[in-house]
């Protein structure tokens, strides 16, 4: 039944959120002959706005989405290999692509008559970032049945609890792309295998930390540049303010002198009987 339920869900999670309830009710009627399936369809939850936008990308921009998620695999490989230059290059490309795809999702939503707030676009970007960092999150995104946005926190696996509709069906798109796992060498005993895994995990943690440090350094450099520019702007504004104050003081003195001259002229006119 999971596949039949997933087929219904695939259709439902492609419709705009405003139409979800009505479409779900219609699908319940369509499968009324199968009471168990109808009950499961009725339980399908409406997706959060950001999750719906990601689902929209999974349907309408599948190639762009796959390219982005493949970039995540490249980034993880670079981190595992401790390739700093590659990590820096891929991190920049990731930011550019995530931002572009999140904005494209907002545009697609607008075309579908749905308004997206900046907070929703940020949540879409955070979900895409989670897919780059975590294989499970990437497969969840591929389902096109997200219920809520995802988030990556530190080095912990992305929390996928109650994040996908019909999770038992998995991501059929991901299943098509998954290559068979290579056979493990029989010459390595369990202890050695565990040691290798531990080293890989440690290397990944170090690489991720170096990547985050590089990003932080880059962000710090950008902020320093902006700070210097802001200080220059403040200094220019202060110089302009000082010049305006001098002009004001000069104008004030000229005004006082003119008033004094006027008062003197009026007094002289009175003395002359004018």
Per-position b or e across 131-164, b if 16+ CB within 10 A of its CB: bbbbbbbbbbbbbbbbbbbbebeeeeebbbeebb
| Alpha-carbon span 96 to 66, nearest angstrom | 15
What is the reported pLDDT for 155?
72
Sign of the alpha-carbon torsion through 225, 226, 227, 231: positive
| Alpha-carbon span 97 to 100, nearest angstrom | 5
Q: Find out whether 113 and 138 touch, Cβ atoms under 8 Å.
A: no
Work out the end-to-end distance of the chain between its first and last CA atoms, rounded to an integer number of angstroms. 111
What is the reported pLDDT for 86?
87
What is the reported pLDDT for 211?
55
Count Cβ atoms below 10 Å from residue 57 Cβ, excluding itself.
24
What is the reported pLDDT for 109?
95
Contacts of 215 (CB under 8 A, 6+ apart): 91
Query: Cα 20 from chain centroid?
Result: 24
| One pLDDT digit (tens) per residue for the chain, 274 residues | 678 898 999 999 999 999 999 999 999 999 999 999 999 999 999 999 999 999 999 999 999 999 999 998 888 888 888 888 888 899 899 999 999 999 999 999 999 999 899 999 999 999 999 999 999 999 999 999 999 999 988 778 899 999 999 888 766 554 544 443 333 333 334 445 555 555 555 555 555 565 566 566 666 666 777 778 888 888 888 888 888 888 888 888 888 888 899 888 888 888 887 6
What is the reported pLDDT for 190?
47
Written in H, E and C, the secondary structure of the chain is CHHHHHHHHHHHCCCCHHHHHHHHHHHHHHCCCCHHHHHHHHHCCCCCHHHHHHHHHHHHCHHHHHHHHHHHHHHHHHHHCCCHHHHHHHHHHHHHHHHHHHHHHHHHHHHCCCCCCHHHHHHHHHHHHHHHHCHHHHHHHHHCCECCCCCCCCCCCCCCCCCECCHHHCCHHHHHHCCCCCCCCCCCCHHHHHHHHHHHHHHHHHHHHHHHHHHHHHHHHHHHHHHHHHHHHHHHHHHHHHHHHHHHHHHHHHHHHHHHHHHHHHHHHHHCCC
| Alpha-carbon span 48 to 161, nearest angstrom | 15
Count Cβ atoms below 10 Å from residue 13 Cβ, excluding itself.
28
What is the reported pLDDT for 222?
64
What is the reported pLDDT for 201?
54
């Amino acid at each position: 039944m999971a596949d039949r339920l997933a087929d219904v869900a695939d259709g439902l999670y492609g419709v705009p959120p405003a139409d979800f309830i009505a479409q779900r009710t219609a699908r319940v009627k369509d499968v009324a002959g199968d009471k168990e399936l109808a009950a499961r369809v009725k339980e399908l939850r409406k997706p959060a706005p950001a999750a719906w936008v990601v689902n929209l990308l999974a349907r309408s921009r599948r190639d762009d989405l796959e390219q982005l998620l493949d970039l995540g695999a490249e980034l993880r490989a670079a981190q595992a290999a401790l390739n700093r230059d590659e990590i820096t290059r891929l991190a920049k490309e990731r930011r550019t692509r995530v931002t572009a795809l999140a904005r494209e999702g907002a545009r697609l939503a607008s075309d579908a008559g749905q308004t997206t707030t900046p907070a929703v676009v940020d949540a879409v970007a955070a979900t895409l970032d989670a897919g780059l960092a975590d294989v499970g999150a990437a497969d969840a995104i591929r389902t096109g049945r997200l219920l809520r946005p995802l988030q990556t926190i530190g080095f912990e696996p992305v929390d996928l609890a109650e994040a996908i509709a019909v999770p038992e069906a998995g991501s059929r798109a991901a299943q098509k792309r998954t290559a068979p796992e290579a056979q493990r060498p029989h010459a390595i005993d369990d202890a050695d295998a565990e040691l290798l895994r531990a080293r890989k995990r440690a290397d990944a943690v170090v690489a991720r930390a170096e990547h985050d440090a590089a990003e932080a350094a880059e962000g710090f450099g950008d902020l320093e540049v902006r700070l210097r520019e802001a200080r220059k702007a403040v200094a220019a504004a202060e110089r302009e303010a000082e010049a305006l104050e001098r002009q004001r003081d000069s104008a004030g003195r000229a005004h006082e002198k003119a008033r004094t001259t006027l008062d003197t002229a009026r007094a002289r006119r009175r003395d002359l009987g004018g």
